Amino acid sequence: MTFAESQMTLLSISPSATANGVAVTFSFEVLPTIDVTRVVRLASDSAAIDSDITLVNGSPLPLLITDAHLSDLRAPAGSAVDVDAYRGGSDWQDDFRARNHMLLGKGFDVEGEVARAAWFFMVSERRGGSASRVGSDGANVWAGVEWGRDLFDLGPIQSEDVGPLTITNPDSNRVPNPLYPVPVRARHVLPLDTLHVGRVATGVYDGDEQDAGVAYADYVSRVRAPSFPRQVTLNSFHPWSHGADFNEKTMEAQADIAQSLGIDTIILDDQWQGGPGGESGDWRVDTSRFPVDARGKPVFANYLAARGMKLGLWMSPVEFNNASTTFRAHPTWSCVPVGTAASLIQDDAGLGVWDITQPAVQAYLAGVIDRIVNDWGVHYFKFDFMTWLDCLPHDYNDYEDAFAHWVDTIEHAHPNVTFEFDETNDQRMWPFESAARGPSWFDNTHSHSLPSGLAVKRGAQLLHDIWSAAPWVPPSSIGAGLYDGTLQDGLTPDYLMPIAALTHITFWTDLSKLPASVRADTAAPAAFQASSFVFAFRQTGPAPVVSLHGLSGGASYTLTNARTGEVLGPFTATQLQDGVTLLGSATPHTAAVYQIARA
């Protein structure tokens, strides 16, 4: 069977059962020596199917692929289409989601990862950037990728000017192709090689954007992403950073307090590693900070285990310190030329970059993870410094794909370990490539100012960021610094803890300096982590009017304040769907959590 629009011939259809649903593999022939495979998966009780596309070049010649459609659906002319484009780096900008409201009937092609029309949506599993596209030829809607729109990625560099180039959006680290439509970048598929074209989720919903986003978030959290535990963590970076007080004794004292607050995992950030044979790239413990036992296991890990707690570690897995013995033994593993040059920059952690496209590098780093998990009992990793580089003969798209594949491999090998990805200040895998693999360390509780010059409280900005990411990015996958300067802004646990309970909870503070009243109001946030609660927040504006979704028609409900026990209602389902005012008499920066139940 030949499809006229795509000029591909369908060779076979192969259905198979999966652990929680069904998969169907469609095999196509583009040319006698070039094949395309699309694997479509549907899980039980999911409103979304996902499809994964690969291309195999069986010819003796290299292929140049500039763009691809990942999903394509027809819709009635005049249909409204909302397109969302996400930009990584919450530390750099106040708003990181841009929206275009389009109408079918004439063609369009805009940046975006999410397309929503009446009754259906598409979400491409990509990071934000100009190469992520949503478009239409007038009669259909498609989501896809056009690699030719990119020039290069600045990684952690934020600048308005790079040499002769002017970046039109200084809050982005992506430099668009100034010669477009001439494709400076494309995917090069060598003879007998395979290209992973992309993955996309296509789903159906009933209602508005909130309902569509919930359908996708359910697919991500229940079907696509690993089933990582909802840990409550403490990260060492604030306030100790790389200072001398970052050591075993300090963190033991923190662990003793952490237990009483419901914290179950302590994450040692940068500089737990170091010393001869232990630098970034070697990944051994700096024994001047954290003594080890005869097997090289940090004694602090045993201290936590004796208290029923778990150890987590920061890592920059694809980077290395120039003093690393591993780099000295394997200099050809470095990314040539940029990664090797970057290793000469003075930095505690080291800024050299491995070439993750090399199988030997992937195998070595997977072995490091195996060793740390199996020998030290580590249950959590925070991955940082993920910068995509051109490592000749590969480009940074190949690099990104190789890293994502490596993460998939180690997650499969260690299903009980959580892998978190730092997405705070440049576009790495955020949003959907990252959310499909675990939680994101997304927000350093930064502060910003309004155009009027009025400073925004850091906790209020954090709530804004979580709201902006939702509903498509599950809030439970977003990590942010709890109590990281927010108490000094005059905010209280009554406001900050409900925000934290919606997220992947991470404390960023010295617990010993929390007043007794704050500790008492902080304990047991897990009590709020359930689907039968309504979280209401009042910022500086009017009291919120809260409209609820997913209620049973004809039923009545009550809302019980989880802290005070005050009961509101009963309300009919229609009243709650139309919206009820909550926190009407409350002061700004106030929150309440209500348990919802049938009356």
In this predicted structure, what is the pLDDT of residue 230?
Answer: 79
Kindly state whether residues 519 and 414 are assigned to the same domain: yes
In this predicted structure, what is the pLDDT of residue 4?
Answer: 55
Kindly state whether residues 220 and 237 are assigned to the same domain: no
In this predicted structure, what is the pLDDT of residue 91?
Answer: 66
Q: What is the CATH number of the domain that holds 400?
A: 3.20.20.70
Kindly state whether residues 182 and 308 are assigned to the same domain: no
Element (H, E) at 499: helix 493-502
Q: Do 528 and 593 meet the contact criterion of CB atoms below 8 Å apart?
A: yes
Residue that finishes a domain, picked among 224, 257, 284 = 224
Residue that finishes a domain, picked among 194, 224, 254 = 224
CA proximity to 397, closest of 188, 191, 201, 135: 188
SS3 488: helix
Kindly state whether residues 486 and 578 are assigned to the same domain: no
Q: Which residues contact 560 (CB under 8 A, 6 or more apart)?
A: 566, 567, 568, 594, 595, 597
In this predicted structure, what is the pLDDT of residue 98?
Answer: 87
For residue 292, the 8-state DSSP code is: B
| Distance from chain centroid for Cα 387 | 15
Kindly state whether residues 198 and 245 are assigned to the same domain: no
In this predicted structure, what is the pLDDT of residue 80?
Answer: 92
Pairing of strands 590-598, 533-538: antiparallel
> Rounded to an integer, what distance in angstroms lies between the CA atom of residue 121 and that of residue 119?
7
In this predicted structure, what is the pLDDT of residue 162?
Answer: 46
Q: Which amino acid is at 375?
A: D
Cβ contacts of 181-184, under 8 Å, gap ≥ 24: 181/148, 182/148, 183/66, 183/147, 183/148, 184/148, 184/150, 184/151
Q: Domain of 501?
A: 233-316+359-528
The count of structural domains within the chain is: 3
In this predicted structure, what is the pLDDT of residue 29?
Answer: 94
In this predicted structure, what is the pLDDT of residue 131?
Answer: 93
In this predicted structure, what is the pLDDT of residue 104?
Answer: 87
Q: Is the pTM of this model over 0.75?
A: yes
Cβ contacts of 236-242, under 8 Å, gap ≥ 24: 236/266, 236/267, 236/268, 236/269, 237/269, 237/270, 237/314, 237/508, 238/481, 238/484, 238/508, 238/509, 239/509, 239/510, 240/510, 241/269, 241/270, 241/271, 242/270, 242/271, 242/348
Sequential pLDDT tens for the chain (599 residues):
555 567 889 999 999 999 999 999 999 999 999 999 999 999 999 999 999 999 999 999 999 999 999 999 988 888 899 999 987 766 666 677 889 999 888 899 999 999 999 999 999 999 888 899 999 988 899 999 999 998 877 766 654 454 555 555 544 667 788 899 998 899 999 999 999 999 999 999 999 999 999 999 999 999 999 988 778 999 999 899 999 999 999 999 999 999 999 999 999 999 999 999 999 999 999 999 999 999 899 999 999 999 999 999 999 999 999 999 999 999 999 998 889 999 998 888 999 999 999 999 999 999 999 999 999 999 999 999 888 889 988 999 999 999 999 999 999 999 999 999 998 866 689 999 999 999 999 877 666 776 677 778 888 888 888 888 899 999 989 998 899 888 888 899 999 999 998 999 999 999 999 999 999 888 655 455 555 899 999 988 888 899 998 898 889 999 999 888 999 999 999 999 999 999 999 999 999 999 999 99
Kindly state whether residues 56 and 188 are assigned to the same domain: yes
In this predicted structure, what is the pLDDT of residue 89?
Answer: 66
Query: What count of other Cβ atoms lies within 10 Å of the Cβ of residue 156?
Result: 14
For residue 511, the 8-state DSSP code is: G
Instruction: Please provide the size of the chain in residues.
Output: 599
Residue 204 CB-half CA count within 13 A: 6
Kindly state whether residues 252 and 382 are assigned to the same domain: yes
Cα radius of gyration rounded to whole Å, the chain: 25
Residue 52 maps to a domain: yes
Kindly state whether residues 270 and 197 are assigned to the same domain: no
